[in-house]
Structure 1
Amino acid sequence: MVLEIISSEQILFQGEVESITLPGAQGSFTVLENHASLVSTLDAGTIEYVTAGERHSVPVGGGFVDVDNNRVAVCVR
């Protein structure tokens, strides 16, 4: 699945990932391959993703996420 994390200034990450955990407004949630389509707001917290077996994290001040057809687009503050 492809993950894009972007801010108004730059692309923070773009590439293939195995999973993504996001700080949703209703609590943390994880997106795996073939996840149902969704749009959600994000609270301040940390986005964690796994790529090539390595876990990475990106602190964010909030934003929103769009999940559709194994593509996860995250816009953050």
Structure 2
Amino acid sequence: MQLDILTPEHKVYSGTVYGIQLPGIEGSFEILDHHAPIIASLGRGKMKIMKDKNHTENYEIAAGFVEVLNNKATVLIEGATSID
């Protein structure tokens, strides 16, 4: 699926991924390739980008939203810091 992660200042990530784990306001959830359409609110927490089954990137994010439509996920967040 195509993933775009944006903050007001810059683009954090853009590319094809296997899935993404996000901190929802009521708990963590995961979006995988070909997920059903969804719009969800995000809270502060850890976001994991799964490039494939063996490679990931991790970020600490502030609040925001995610929209999934036509196998494209767009994540709009207030800020993101890369973590290992």
Report if TM-score (shorter chain) is over 0.5.
yes
Residue aligning to 1:54: 55
Residue aligning to 1:17: 17
Helix, strand or coil for the counterpart of 1:34?
coil
Q: Which runs of 5+ in 1 are unaligned?
A: none
Residue aligning to 2:27: 27
Aligned pair count? Answer: 77
Q: CA deviation at 1:46?
A: 1.3
Structure 1 consecutive aligned stretches of length 4 or more whose deviation exceeds 3 Å: none
Amino acid corresponding to residue 47 of structure 1 in structure 2: M
Q: CA deviation at 1:47?
A: 1.0
TM-score when normalising by structure 1: 0.94
Instruction: Give, in whole Å, the separation in 1 of the partners of 2:32 and 2:58.
Output: 16
Q: Which runs of 5+ in 2 are unaligned?
A: 79-84
Helix, strand or coil for the counterpart of 2:13?
strand
Instruction: Give, in whole Å, the separation in 1 of the partners of 2:22 and 2:28.
Output: 5
Alignment of 1:64 onto 2:81: no
Q: Deviations over 1:15-37 (max 9, x none)?
A: 00001000011211100111110
Residue aligning to 1:42: 42
Residue aligning to 2:74: 73
Percent of pairs with identical residues: 32
